[in-house]
Amino acid sequence: MDQPNIAQRIPFVKEEKPGKYYWCACGQSKNQPYCDGSHKGTSFSPVLTEITETKKVAWCGCKHTENKPFCDGAHKKLNV
C-alpha cells in the first residue's frame, strides 16, 4: 500500500465555518490541509467532511491518523 507524504508533523488547526471540506489524504496538495487534486494517478482519495457549526478543527497534517481527517496524535509516533 502507498504511504502518504507527510505534509507537516503537527495538525493544521483552523477556525472553520459550516460547509463541506475535502481533506487531502495523500499529502501532496499545495493547499493543505485541503485537496487540490494532486492525488490523481495515486491510490489516495480525499476525505469529504461536513462541518455543521463554526468551530476550531485540528486537521491531520501527517496523514497517518486513524481518525481521518482529524488529528489523533499519530504524528508523535512517526519514525520517518
Q: Rounded to the nearest 5°, which phi and psi values hold at 48?
A: -80, 130
> With contact defined as beta carbons under 8 Å apart, do 46 and 59 qualify?
no
Query: Residue with C-alpha cell 494517478?
Result: 41
Instruction: Give the DSSP letter of residue 67.
Output: S
Query: Residue with C-alpha cell 487531502?
Result: 24
Provide the residue ranges of all domains of the chain, joining segments of one domain with +.
12-77
What are the grid coordinates assigned to 3, written together?
A: 504511504
In the structure, what pLDDT confidence band is assigned to residue 80 with cuts at 50, 70 and 90? low
pLDDT mean over 50-68: 98
pLDDT, tens digit, for every residue of 37-58? 999 999 999 999 999 999 999 9
In the structure, what pLDDT confidence band is assigned to residue 30 with cuts at 50, 70 and 90? very high
pTM exceeds 0.85 for this model? yes
